[in-house]
Each structure stands twice: as structure tokens, then as C-alpha cells.
Structure 1
């Protein structure tokens, strides 16, 4: 197989799940109300957030209404409606749910940027990653990232890692703007953007459903089994414990 591109997930693949869930998510949740108090969303993003909010409102999931008791208006379920004032508390709720929602991911990236630049955050990347990426480049293989985190957040993880600035190892970055990671159309879109046939791309992930989506369009697939990764359903894909 003539592999010309490595497409790499981040969480559970090149970086520990624990770093994302125990460092990045709590940092964003801690600062999101403060950050959004002075942030102005574009109109198209406001419409997107309002639509997502109203979907949750209709579902009435457990814990949804209690999230907004912090607000000054002491909103109760019968009077709950979308407003700019409610967005910070809604985003707190989405962080708790680990919702893969574009506007949230963008804001998280901006908050993390503050943390990285101030030195409060230093990302953890597995020690075998730089050598693997460097060897790939020497073999003529380009490295790319595909993660549910925003492109900005992806770049920050590799820029401010404990192993140094790793950005030079990567050619391009993709987030869910190309589509969900469990949807085969996303991988078709990435292959198109790389101007490559799918069978020239090897996708590295820790999630079987993502591997299935990539494999369904002809990509080669490797599952990473890093410490702390979640158990996966039975599958026939190759499994690596390290690069």
C-alpha cells in the first residue's frame, strides 16, 4: 500500500484522554462565563446556538434546566427561552455533556489560547509522537490532524507541548467543519481536500466507529490502545500500543 498521508486524531491517539478531560475541559469551564461576558458572536453563530439550545429545550434532558438556576433571572423551566445572557450557562452545560458542537469548540479554543499563552496550560503529547512524525516526513509521508476540537485548539496543543513546538511536523488540520468523525462523508471530504485517493491515507484513532467510517471510503486504519483509552467493541483493525 502506497501511503502518502497520515491523518491523526488527538485525544487518545497523540495525547492522553486525561489531559483533555482533566486539564482542558475544566479550564474552559472555569473561564467560559467570564470570557463570554465580553464576547460578541457573529449572527450566523447565534442562530446555530439558538437552534441547538431549542433542541435541548424540547428534549428536556435531566439536568438541563437546573444549569440555568445560576443566572440572575432565576429562570424556571416554564419561562426558559434563548437569550445572549443564557449562552454562558448553556455552554457550561455543553462542556459537561462533552458535546461536539462547533461554536462551543471555537470558544474553548480561544479560552485555551489564553491559558497556553499565559503559561497556565502546557499540553501533554505522548513521547513517541515526534519521532513517528519525523520518520513519516523522511519517508515522504505528510502528517495531518483530524479532531473534534477546533483547528485553533489543535494547533495550540502541538505549539505549546511539553515536548516543544511540534507544528512543523504537520501539513494541515481538520475539525468537524468537514463533518462528524463517525460519518464517511467527512473522510471523503478530507481526501478531496488533500487531493489524494482515500487508499493513500492512513487514519489513526482510538475509536472503532471512526475507524469504520474512514475504512468505508478506502482509508487504511490503525486503532491506538493508549493507557486510559476506553474499551472498544470487537473489530478486525490493527491495534498499536504506541507509534
Structure 2
């Protein structure tokens, strides 16, 4: 069946891993404590702090203790939904202030524009929150790429290494899984998408092979019409 939609990972795929670990994470760690203290009365922040209490099992944790827990999660790169949501709020502040610009590989930006023009529906699936995804593409070094995308998915759709997550995404997109091409640099994610019925291509920008999947070093050589 011909490919009609392309679902892409961000970190290591459209964007450098170093941007996340060397720019975004340190920015969040530095600004998250004051952001929470300054916005503690906002419902969106209170909701996420309650989620931190539940996920940590510390139902009596006060805001300062929640900040400690969140900083610990950042240090261990924990894929915790409330952390991702709060990081997204902090990053939004940074993007809007012009202190952050989303890194997108030039070959990825060019390919995404080309695929969109050819009529492919584009989607994102990342462990970062949907808000963070929109900011990376909307405030990127390549300009505002957000009009190219038809939708975004994060860990609320399920873990990225489980096939059921990709089945849920296919259902949300409204296409058979076989008509969706998934791009990632992580073999376990590609395996899960493949198990769900999606077509897959692995990105290995430093070279090498992602076993069990067609592997390329650049978006420039991907032709969805020939998958």
C-alpha cells in the first residue's frame, strides 16, 4: 500500500541529540525552579505538581520538594509526563523571549517541506511534550515549520517502544498502519512501529545500520513514494 503519512521522531532524527541535552535540558534545569515559584497559583502548573506527587508516590510533597523531584528526573532523563509538560512551559517562555531556537537538520527541513508539498501528511511522535514539539518546529532555526504538520503525539499515546502506542497513533491519524512511514534513530522504536504494521526507515546520521530496518544517514535520500 502506498505511503500517505509520515510520522517522525525528533531527537537524533530531525534534530541533534546535543540540542536536547546541551541546550534544552540545561535551560529547563536552570529556569524550572523559579518558573514554578512564580506560576504556582496557575491551574496548569498546580495540575502538573499534583501529577508529580502521584508519580513519585510522595503525596505530601510541597512545591519545593516537587522541584527537587523534577530536577532529579531531569538529571536521569526520566520520561515523566508532568516533567515534560513543565519543561514545555519553561521552554515556551525561552522561545518567546528569543533565548531558544529549535535545531532542525537542514536536510530534514528541506525534506519535510518537499513531502508536505507532495501531499504527504506529516506527524511527530516524540517523548517530549506536544507543546515542546510545537515549539521546536515553530521557533526553529529553519523558520516556522509548524504549518507543515497535521498532528503531534507524545507519551500520552504510550511508550515509544511499545507496539500498541503506534496502533493508537495510526487509529488517531485515521489510516491503516501500512500507509504510515515511521522515522527514528532508535531500533527499539522502529521495531515497535514495524510490529504495529507501519513501514520504517532508520536514521543513523553518524553511519551504521539499525538492524532490521532500511537505514539512511540523511532525510535527503528518503523517497516515501518508493517505500
Same-fold call, TM cutoff 0.5: yes
Count of aligned residue pairs for this structure pair: 216
Contact 1:53/1:82 (<8 A) preserved: no
Q: Distance in 2 between matches of 1:226 and 1:108?
A: 27
Deviation at 1:140, TM superposition (A): 2.1
Q: Over aligned residue pairs, what C-alpha RMSD do you find? A: 2.0
Counterparts of residues 92-131 of structure 1 (less than 5 Å) = 92-131=71-110
Deviation at 1:130, TM superposition (A): 2.2
Counterparts of residues 1-243 of structure 1 (less than 5 Å) = 1-40=1-40, 45-54=48-57, 82-227=61-206, 235-243=211-219
When residues 27 and 203 of structure 1 are mapped into structure 2, their CA distance, relative to the original with a 3 A threshold, is same
Deviation at 1:44, TM superposition (A): 5.7
1:125-158 Cα offsets, whole Å, 9 max, x none, are 1001122112212332111000011111000001
For structure 2, which runs of at least 5 residues remain unmatched after alignment? 220-227
Q: Distance in 2 between matches of 1:186 and 1:215?
A: 12
When normalised by structure 2's length, the TM-score is: 0.89
When normalised by structure 1's length, the TM-score is: 0.83
Contact 2:101/2:141 (<8 A) preserved: yes
Q: Distance in 2 between matches of 1:138 and 1:116?
A: 27
When residues 32 and 16 of structure 1 are mapped into structure 2, their CA distance, relative to the original with a 3 A threshold, is same
For structure 1, which runs of at least 5 residues remain unmatched after alignment? 58-80
1:97-131 Cα offsets, whole Å, 9 max, x none, are 10101100000001001111111111211001122
Which protein has greater RCO, CA pairs closer than 8 Å, 6+ apart? 1
